[in-house]
């Protein structure tokens, strides 16, 4: 299988969780969220290197976590930036030059399964850039800052975007470099390619692959994991 490098941005503040510290260290079934996320890639025979990007104050905790979990594909634990995009850019730079295919996956998405990850890799092999997304259940409207509704977007063409996102290394680096020079910021990596006019392929994601952002998400994630273990 492929010689894939993983970048895990985990340098967010976790303010929406209200825990007072990085949400990725909260535990799910007795194991830190970040350990669940990294553990999946450790187990995958498609993955040869993993880089974790953490906030400056969290780096020693992440080192300890890597040590205690006996992860051995971690090639670097690097310092993140102010925005997610800065964190991913730092992580990409830390991968060996032999890695030519990169997957970016949020540290806060611990519920991805090995089966879904491998399906994603297979389905996206031929695309220089591809992402996972799921159909949206709600009607989504665009508003202005005063709250006036501007339009209703056609739901069948909308996807809620997740990670993993997979890229040929050259394209991902180019997109990050150009966006940094132009001061352009996006909330995911694919948006930088879209901004450059580069095609991005969407494939079906998994509803359970939630980003654990609020206390309600943590509650839900516990229940999802509990059902998997029974």
Q: Taking the complex as a whole, how short is the minimal distance between the CB of residue 153 and ligand C5P, in angstroms?
A: 21
Nearer to ligand C5P, 23 or 101 (CB): 23
Which residue in 154, 160, 166, 161 sits closest to 126, CA to CA? 166
- 143: DSSP letter: E
* Site for ligand C5P, rule CB under 6 A: 9-12, 53, 80-84, 87, 106-108, 187, 211, 213
In angstroms, give the least distance from the CB of 213 to ligand C5P: 6
Give the nearer residue to ligand C5P in terms of CB position, either 5 or 80.
80
- Report the alpha-carbon angle 214-10-99, nearest 5: 140
Q: Is the peptide bond prior to 148 cis by the omega test (within 30 degrees of 0)?
A: no
- Closer CB to ligand C5P, residue 22 or residue 44? 22
Question: What letter does residue 88 receive in the DSSP assignment?
Answer: H
DSSP 56: G
Distances (CA, A) of 123 to 138, 186, 188: 27, 25, 20
CB of 12 to ligand C5P, least distance (A): 3
- In the bound state with ligand C5P, the residue whose beta carbon lies nearer, of 201 and 213, is 213
Q: How far is the CB of 201 from ligand C5P (least distance, A)?
A: 21
């Amino acid at each position: 299988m492929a010689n894939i490098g993983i970048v895990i941005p985990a340098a967010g503040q976790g303010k929406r969780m209200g825990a007072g510290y990085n949400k990725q260290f909260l535990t799910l079934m007795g194991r830190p969220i970040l350990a669940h996320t990294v553990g999946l890639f450790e187990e995958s025979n498609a993955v040869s290197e993993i880089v974790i990007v953490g906030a400056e104050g969290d780096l020693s905790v992440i080192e300890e976590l890597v040590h205690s979990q006996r992860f051995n594909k971690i090639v670097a634990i690097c310092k993140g930036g102010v925005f997610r995009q800065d964190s991913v850019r730092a992580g990409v730079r830390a991968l060996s030059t032999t890695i030519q295919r990169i997957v970016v996956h949020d540290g806060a998405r611990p519920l991805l399964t090995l089966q879904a990850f491998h399906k994603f890799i297979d389905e996206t092999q031929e695309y220089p850039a591809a992402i996972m997304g799921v159909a949206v259940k709600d009607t989504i409207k665009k508003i202005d800052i005063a709250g006036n509704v501007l339009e209703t977007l056609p739901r069948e063409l909308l996807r809620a975007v997740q990670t993993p996102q997979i890229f040929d290394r050259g394209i991902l680096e180019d997109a990050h470099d150009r966006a940094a020079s132009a001061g352009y910021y996006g909330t995911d990596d694919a948006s930088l390619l879209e901004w450059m006019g580069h095609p991005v392929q969407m494939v079906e994601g998994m509803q359970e692959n939630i980003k654990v952002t609020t206390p309600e998400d943590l509650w839900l994630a516990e229940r999802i994991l509990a059902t998997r273990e029974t």
